[in-house]
Amino acid sequence: MQPSTPFEPVLKEFAGSLPPAFRNQFLQAGPVKLEGVMHRVWHKPALHPMFWIMGKFGVLIPKTGAEVPTTLIIEPTPKGQLWRRTLNFDRPVEFNSLNTFEPREQRVVEWIGPGQLVGMVWEVAFAPPHTLSLVTIGWVIRFGKRNLPVPGWLWPWTLGRADTSQIVDERHEDIIHIDLVIHHTLFGEMFGYSGTFQVK
C-alpha cells in the first residue's frame, strides 16, 4: 500500500507535534502551494559555466539574485509528489523534482534531471517545536525498476551533499524560513538559497 505522501512514513511518528505548515507541506495528499521570496540565490562565480549547463538539464538553478519572487507547487502523482518551483528572475526559471518513498532505502528520494533518473536520498528529521531538516545521505541512479546506489566514496566528490533546514516562524504558523546549502568535497560550499514562504 502506497503512503499518502512520500514523507508520511518518515514523519508519521511526529504527526501530532508537527506545526500546521509542515503537516500541510509534507503530509497533505492534495495540492499545496508555497508562495514567497528567495532572499538570496547564489553559487560560486567560478562555477558559473557548470551551473549554466546543469540548469539546461534541469538539475539546479543556473541564475543568482536577491529578493526573487518564488512559488512552489506540490502536486500528488501516482509515483509520489511533483515539486514545481518557479523563480521569477527577469526571465523565470523552473526547477522541478519528484519526491518518492523508496521501500528498499526506507527513505525519501528526490529525483532530478532528464527523465528524473538521478535521485538524492534524504535523511529527514524533525526537531520540535519548529525545525525540520533534510540532509543528503546518498545518491541513487534509476535503471529500469532498480535503484543503483552511487558508491559512498564517490558521490561527495561528484554530486555533493545538500543540507536543508526549514523553520516555522514563531509568530506566524503558516510562514516557513528555508535555507539550503550544497557542499562539495572539492569546491566547498558551492550553491545555496534562502527564502521565506507562506504555505497556502
* Cα separation values, 13 from 9, 10, 45, 167, Å: 8, 8, 42, 19
Q: Return phi, psi of residue 105, to 5°.
A: -85, -20
DSSP for residue 22: H
Residue 78 has pLDDT above 60, yes or no: yes
- Region 16-27: mean pLDDT is 94
Q: Angle at CA 58, nearest 5°, toward 30 and 2?
A: 30
Of the pLDDT bands very low, low, confident and very high (cuts 50, 70, 90), residue 171 is: very high
| pLDDT for the residue 134 | 98
Please give the pLDDT value at position 1: 52
Distance, CA of 82 to chain centre: 11
**Average pLDDT for the chain:** 94
Query: In CATH, what number is assigned to the domain containing residue 88?
Result: 2.40.128
Instruction: Tell me what the mean pLDDT of segment 51-65 comes to.
Output: 92
Residue at 32 is within a domain: yes
What's the pTM value of the predicted model, to 2 decimals? 0.94
The predicted pLDDT at position 2 comes to 62
The total number of structural domains in the chain stands at: 1
For residue 193, give its domain range: 8-199
Q: Is residue 1 part of a domain?
A: no
Quick check: is 136 in a domain?
yes
User: Is a pLDDT exceeding 70 seen at residue 161?
Assistant: yes
Q: Does residue 3 form part of some domain?
A: no
The most confident of the ranges 23-32, 85-94, 139-148 is 85-94
131 domain-assigned: yes
Specify if 2 maps to a domain. Answer: no
pLDDT of 45 > 80? The answer is yes
CA distance 14 to 190: 32
Q: Is the pLDDT of residue 182 over 80?
A: yes
